[in-house]
Amino acid sequence: MIEPLVLKGFRDSLPGEEIPKKKIQRKLEDVFESYGFVPIDTPVLEYENVLLGKGGGETDKQIFHFEDNGGRKVAMRFDLTVPFARFLALHHDELAIPFKRYHIAKAFRGENPQKGRYREFIQCDFDIVGCDNAASDFEILSIMNSSFLAMGIKNVQFHVAHRGLFNDFLSSIGIEEKSVDVLRCVDKLRKIGKNEVKKLLVDITGNEEKSESILKYITSGDGHQFDETLDILSKLIGKETESLFRMRQIYSLLLQAGIADKFIYDASITRGLDYYTGIVYETFLTDIESIGSVCSGGRYNNLASLYTKENLPGVGASIGLDRLMAALIELKSPLVSDTSNADILIFPKPDETQKALKAAMDLRKMGIRTDVYLLPEKKMKAQYDYAAKNRIRHSLTFFDSSYIVKNLETRDSVTVDSLEEVASLCR
């Protein structure tokens, strides 16, 4: 006998989890499609050097990699961004540009599992590649907003910033050469708080006044609306810059769309990753901010440059479905609590199985998702246990030529004469 173990950091998805996961995925796909976005897929396994790029080193231990039977060094994808860059380099001639794509798929990391983090997880990415303008930046923000609306999440706030604007500011106070260290430090604001960030900034800049100025910059959005913050930043920088103009354009589009109140300019958002070059953003659920950002991304203007000389500017965002699921559970969303795949369950007596299978066929034709309990010889307790585990709301039993429909929550029964009436009781 072999022990039926699952690897550390991996897990099975049982129906109670998989049903809502599929529902969420469909809702997201419907949103992407309403914007004309198209799906792609890439292999789980790729050449190791393709996935790691010039990198290697530390990342190595984080990814699943091995030598295949043909002696090739291969690795399992650890995100959907790198495979997308490779995909763009390989196929850009075949694609409609601007290329608006989404990709929902599993990725794998060998890191030590932490609370809520697994070695296998589902990413959901959407990007526009082939243009660098406010309209494409806006469209991604608009999809983010539509996605959370589609999931019934109203209390959401999008924190937006611009990498270029931060650089404009650092230039204005004469420390642009320290931007990498400063950005990395500022990124920690949420975690370590103002005082600690201030200390670190003094270490980096060696200047109390400049550190105070940076702190003022990154907290400039506090309590202000998006456009007010832009005015404050303009004054801090001392002039209107290209990045500022882009942000004003984006804000005007958000305003026109009637969704500006969900966006704030939060200059402390820098995103750790090197490849971002313009707008960056994170998404917080105001009822459970502690869960962290549930949707992040930004503009990158050189993503595929490792693989091609083609200039492919892009902007996009990524939703971690596992974290989103956790959030929806905490918010007690109906999306995750309604985990039934059947509207009604027929309980036949042992000699009624054939009749039950026929009634099921007829109900399905009327659009009613119908399950038949296939062990009619079992005791009632087993039957009701089956209904409860599958969270099915109605049961159907036969009585002569009548049908008894029972609401399994309220325990109320109704006797009707036709399957049409049964169907309408389930709707």
Of the candidates 180, 192, 273, 375, which one interacts with a second copy according to CB under 8 A? 375
- Measured between alpha carbons, how far is residue 286 from residues 4, 154, 156, 221, 264 in Å? 41, 9, 6, 16, 13
What gap in Å lies between CA 409 and CA 422, rounded to an integer?
17
Of the candidates 50, 317, 336, 426, which one interacts with a second copy according to CB under 8 A? 50
Number of residues that bind a second copy (CB under 8 A): 106
Does residue number 131 form part of the binding site for a second copy (CB under 8 A)?
yes
Does residue number 72 form part of the binding site for a second copy (CB under 8 A)?
yes
Stretch that binds a second copy, among 89-97, 216-224, 268-276, 416-424 (CB under 8 A): 89-97
We find the least distance from the C-beta atom of residue 420 to a second copy, in angstroms, to be: 17
What gap in Å lies between CA 279 and CA 139, rounded to an integer?
12
What amino acid is encoded at 342 in this protein?
Answer: A
Count Cβ neighbours within 10 Å for each residue of 61-79 and write b for 16 or more, e otherwise: eebbbeeeeeeeebbbbbb
Stretch that binds a second copy, among 7-15, 178-186, 210-218, 328-336 (CB under 8 A): 7-15
Does residue number 46 form part of the binding site for a second copy (CB under 8 A)?
yes
Of the candidates 58, 94, 351, 400, which one interacts with a second copy according to CB under 8 A? 94
We find the least distance from the C-beta atom of residue 299 to a second copy, in angstroms, to be: 13
Does residue number 386 form part of the binding site for a second copy (CB under 8 A)?
yes
Of the candidates 24, 89, 319, 327, which one interacts with a second copy according to CB under 8 A? 89
Stretch that binds a second copy, among 100-108, 280-288, 328-336, 417-425 (CB under 8 A): 100-108
Nearer to a second copy, 57 or 70 (CB): 70
Does residue number 392 form part of the binding site for a second copy (CB under 8 A)?
yes
Nearer to a second copy, 219 or 305 (CB): 305
DSSP three-state, residue 239: coil
Vertex 329 angle, CA 325 and 334, to 5°: 100
- Other C-beta atoms lying within 10 Å of the C-beta of residue 113: 14
Residues 221-280 that bind a second copy (CB under 8 A): 252-253, 256-257
Strand order in 394-399's β-sheet?
A: 370-372, 344-346, 394-399, 402-407, 413-416
Record the tokens describing residue 221, joined without a space: 């959005």
Does residue number 353 form part of the binding site for a second copy (CB under 8 A)?
yes
Vertex 300 angle, CA 297 and 305, to 5°: 135
Nearer to a second copy, 46 or 282 (CB): 46
